[in-house]
Amino acid sequence: MSPRKKKILKRGKRYQRARRLPLIKKEEKYVPHILRGMKDILPADQIYWDFVLKKMEEAVRSYGFSKITLPILEDKKLFEKGTGRTTEIVEKQMFNFSDQSGTPIALRPEGTPQLVRAYIEQGMDNLPQPVKLYHFGQRFRYERPQSGRQREFWQFDIDILGSEKPIVDAEILLLLQNIFQELGLKINFEINSLGCENCRKVYRNKLVAYLGGRRNKLCPDCQKRLEVNPLRVLDCKEQTCQFFLSQSPQIIDWLCEECRAHFTRLLEYLDELEIIYSLNSRIVRGLDYYTKTVFEILPKRVDKQKDQQLEAQPAHEIVRGQIALGGGGRYDNLVEFLGGRSTPACGVALGLERIIEELKAQSAKIPKIKSPQIFVAQISEIARSTALKIFENLRQEGFRATHNLSKDSLKTQLEIANKLKVKFSLIIGHQEFLNKTVIIRDMNSGNQEIVDQAKIVREIKKRLK
């Protein structure tokens, strides 16, 4: 700010107005802070992220899935049409803005519509079917942040497009069972069928007839849902609505023949494959595109105390949405609905933050990062780049070496080496630099020996055997 402006500002707004000077506002003090509902994933947590992603990618690749990477931004209309205009996600939770050209953009709130967009746009319907894809990344939903619910979170999606067979649904569930086994997490699948448009119409009428008589007792949101999308009432977390729902008609009693056969065959496959599941007629998943099979993955806590707490709570008090580790199902009409050929499909989205929190809650075993074996220390400025070169040499030879070349004092460097519990420290001082040698210090015994820099790799190999 110029000194003149500063002077005007100091004299105050009245002075500025009296003199008809343009009003100058004080610059707001800005304290950098993270946005609400967003999270920095710190280095200490990366071990969990690496572990989870590695296990998931290994499993899906071994099942023949290929990776696809999709953009974070999409046309807002894709989600309005794909996810559904009356869904919570589109109605209340999308992060929207217009870009410089005025195109309405959304930060993706979920992955399925954009996967389908890519499937159609990239001509994947011409590939041998079914097409098996996985993708992962951030999703954005403007929700009230709370435990297990952020505004930015990561999902790992697994999808099979191009088959209507129930064995595909079973394959995804078996793959998920393997993933959670590999992660060391105990889970349970809760499964339901939403049928097709035909049977859903019949069920919808039954449900409206049942709930219509109790309309005034439902929460205000459900009174609205009853008009717009009655099935969504089944998803309501309000206690009063839950009470009425416990006696409401169940969709599986109203499935048409084809949907019933699909569901029955799937359950038979699950039994044959020894996949443990429970039926839950209240799972509707809250998105418009689901047909037939829907399911959620819920953690089965091994922690007795938490287990008892969960079991002691009546079902309606367990905030399901907050603990589900993932959910998915069939979306047989979405590809056609978004302009592609008729392509039945099935998929799942896993919530990575929740899975990581569950790993911590269930005290699952995470492989530790291997600690360094060698610390390279230097004593004089002249030796610093030699130390870095030796470190690089050791690294290329496959040793786990480390250093802290910003430090000057040898004592400090050896203290760091001690904390890291390395077996050997290599010390290069002025003399060693001139003689092209290194001091090898055994950190347990404190014994030291001088060796030629050219022989260091051989010497270390011998000692680490």
What does the binding site for ligand AMP look like in residue numbers (CB under 6 A)? 110, 141, 143, 148-150, 153, 155, 324-327, 349, 351, 353-354
CB of residue 232 to ligand AMP, shortest distance in Å: 13
Nearer to ligand AMP, 51 or 156 (CB): 156
The C-alpha torsion from 294 through 295 and 296 to 301, rounded to 10°, is 160
3-state SS string for 147-204: CCECCEEEEEEEEEECCCCHHHHHHHHHHHHHHHHHHCCCEEEEEEECCCHHHHHHHH
Nearer to ligand AMP, 110 or 432 (CB): 110
Nearer to ligand AMP, 347 or 429 (CB): 347
- In this structure, how many other beta carbons lie within 10 angstroms of the beta carbon of residue 445? 7
Which pair of structure tokens corresponds to residue 96? 């929207």
Give the up-direction half-sphere exposure of residue 312: CA atoms within 13 A in the CB hemisphere: 6
CB of residue 143 to ligand AMP, shortest distance in Å: 5
CB of residue 297 to ligand AMP, shortest distance in Å: 7
- Strands 187-193, 401-403: pairing is unpaired
Nearer to ligand AMP, 110 or 159 (CB): 110
CB of residue 109 to ligand AMP, shortest distance in Å: 8
Would you say 423 and 444 are in contact if contact means Cβ atoms under 8 Å apart? yes
Nearer to ligand AMP, 140 or 254 (CB): 140
CB of residue 141 to ligand AMP, shortest distance in Å: 5
Residue number with the smallest Cβ distance to ligand AMP:
351
Nearer to ligand AMP, 51 or 289 (CB): 289
The C-alpha torsion from 136 through 137 and 143 to 147, rounded to 10°, is 80
CB of residue 122 to ligand AMP, shortest distance in Å: 23
Nearer to ligand AMP, 130 or 351 (CB): 351
Would you say 294 and 285 are in contact if contact means Cβ atoms under 8 Å apart? yes
3-state SS string for 93-125: HCEEEECCCCCEEEECCCCHHHHHHHHHHCCHH
CB of residue 80 to ligand AMP, shortest distance in Å: 16
